[in-house]
């Protein structure tokens, strides 16, 4: 009689852990990816951008999958894939200590 209840409580605990994992890990990551995709799709000429590699510039052309931007007064133009744009605007954040250590 108690063996069936132990099996049900084990299944219930697994379902609860999956639910917790979903709401703490998977769902926030999906929201972050969706927000980043919306930012990249809304890029317009004249926007300041920072790439994943840390290059900063002003957008001069937006195509389907590529963005061309100028890096400053030297007027060097760089063409990158849209997915390489990390921030709309100029990122001034320093890497954290963990990122510096590798």
The mean per-residue pLDDT over the stretch 21-31 comes to: 93
Overall domain count for the chain:
2
Chain Cα centroid distance, residue 60: 23
Give phi and psi for 85, each to the nearest 5. Answer: -80, 120
31 and 49, same domain (yes or no): no
Task: Tell me the chain's radius of gyration from C-alpha atoms.
Answer: 22
58 and 9, same domain (yes or no): no
Residue 55: pLDDT above 80?
yes
Give phi and psi for 74, each to the nearest 5. Answer: -75, -10
Domain that holds residue 3: 1-42
12 and 55, same domain (yes or no): no
Note the pLDDT of residue 69.
94
60 and 23, same domain (yes or no): no
């Amino acid at each position: 009689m108690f063996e069936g209840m132990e099996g049900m409580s084990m299944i219930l605990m697994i379902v609860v852990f999956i639910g917790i994992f979903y709401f703490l890990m998977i769902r926030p990551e999906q929201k972050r990816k969706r927000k980043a995709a919306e930012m990249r799709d809304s890029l317009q000429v004249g926007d300041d951008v920072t790439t994943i590699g840390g290059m900063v510039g002003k957008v001069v052309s937006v195509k389907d999958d590529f963005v061309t931007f100028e890096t400053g007064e030297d007027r060097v133009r760089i063409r990158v894939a849209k997915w390489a744009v990390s921030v709309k605007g100029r990122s001034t954040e320093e890497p954290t200590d963990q990122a510096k250590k590798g």
